Amino acid sequence: MNKLKFSKDEGSSFYKELNEKIDEYFSKKGIQKTGNNIMFFKIIMYFSFDLLFYTLMIKSSSVVEFYVYYLLMGLSVLLTAFNISHDAAHGVAVKSKFWNRFLFSLSFNLQGNNAYVWGKNHNESHHLYTNVEGSDIDVLNNPLLRMTASQPLKWHHQFQYLYAPLLSLLYSINWFFIRETLMLFNYTSRTIKIKIPPLEVFQLILFKLIYLGYMFVIPLVFLPFGFTHVLLVFILNHFMVSIIFTSVLGVSHLSDYVEHPVPDENNKLNMSWPKLQMVTSVDYNAESVFLNWTLGGFNAHSLHHLLPNISHVHYLNILPIFKETAKKHNINYMNMPYIEAYKSYYRFLYKMGHQQNPKTLVYES
């Protein structure tokens, strides 16, 4: 991974004042930046939903019930990851470091994926060097999809805006069966190689087997619906998770409003770290109570990238401070309706497939 240096600009003073105001807010309120009673309620609620829908699925008396409860359980596990795993990965779901690690591992491994690998690279790569190829692990070097202007433009990329939705259906299946398997051999289609400690290799394999056990083997053995139905609902669940996951996160960093900065020969960017976060992240309906409760604050992505040490349960209260400080320092804050973010995502795919150096649009709120 290329480690980068940053420059000083208006983002530096913005970030300094933002932290001062945020610290003042929490000090005056006499509250912690970690999760509060709302978070405790969400932890109990989402894990209860996981258990409830799984129990109902195992007790299904008809194929229809089986499919409905299976998919509801899959959705619940995903929302558990959105609301609990992510905050816990940043150490802010609760006060205790131990319980943050436990909640992160439990809620993430429920999906059959390795918590350690994702958490380490999410925090040490994506959050530091957002949208910078060769430094951000989430910037793909994928021959089928062109994501940055620095990647070669090939003839088939002109169709990527058409086949990208089909590829997105495979996101979860690829993650579970292929991506982490390739990582075991220190090979990945991403721009950053990953080394996994032996203990995590063991846990990676173990939790995948556990996942296959409770999501496939147990329904197959204890329910009378047969191999075809169990396999079909297993695949449908991965399709559903993939669609939601890519729809929630894809629009945040893949947009014709965001930049993909390129460092100079000395690995230095011509902007500060705070400004990098603001020019590479799109928020949508950041004021929505419903989305905050269901998506765990993922819709307020630039806010999260700048303040990862704050639980998403506080986002709605500190958002006015964030917006006001950005405006004061002439920092463009991109917060738009979801439909606009979604349209921008597909415009981005189209432009990347048809233009060598697509122009980044300026969003005016």
> What single string gives the DSSP state of each residue in 88-127?
HHTT-SSS-HHHHHHHHHHHHHTTTS-HHHHHHHIIIIIT
What predicted TM-score, i.e. pTM, was given to this entire model?
0.90
Angstrom distance (rounded) from CA 62 to CA 73: 16
Is residue 4 situated within a structural domain?
Answer: no
Angstrom distance (rounded) from CA 8 to CA 293: 36
**Triad 150, 267, 183: Cα angle to 5°:** 70
Is residue 359 situated within a structural domain?
Answer: no
pLDDT of residue 2: 74
Is residue 135 situated within a structural domain?
Answer: yes
pLDDT of residue 291: 95
Question: Are the beta carbons of 352 and 147 closer than 8 angstroms?
Answer: yes
Question: Are the beta carbons of 194 and 121 closer than 8 angstroms?
Answer: yes
What is the tally of structural domains in the chain? 1
pLDDT (tens place) for every residue of the chain, 365 residues total: 678 889 998 999 999 999 999 999 999 999 999 999 999 999 999 999 999 999 999 999 999 999 999 999 999 999 999 999 889 989 999 999 999 989 988 887 777 777 777 777 777 778 888 888 877 777 766 778 898 888 899 999 999 999 999 999 998 898 888 777 777 776 655 545 667 788 888 888 888 899 999 999 999 999 999 999 999 999 999 999 999 999 998 899 899 999 988 888 888 889 999 999 999 999 999 999 999 999 999 999 999 999 999 999 999 999 999 999 999 999 999 999 999 999 999 999 999 999 999 999 999 87
Angstrom distance (rounded) from CA 156 to CA 164: 12
Is residue 43 situated within a structural domain?
Answer: yes
Looking only at the bridges linking them, the beta strands covering 283-284 and 335-336 are parallel
Is residue 255 situated within a structural domain?
Answer: yes
**Triad 280, 242, 145: Cα angle to 5°:** 55
- Strand, coil or helix: 145: strand
Is residue 3 situated within a structural domain?
Answer: no
Q: How far is CA 123 from CA 86, 212, 309, in A?
A: 10, 28, 11
Question: Are the beta carbons of 43 and 336 closer than 8 angstroms?
Answer: no
Q: In terms of residue numbers, what domain contains 346?
A: 10-354
Is residue 116 situated within a structural domain?
Answer: yes
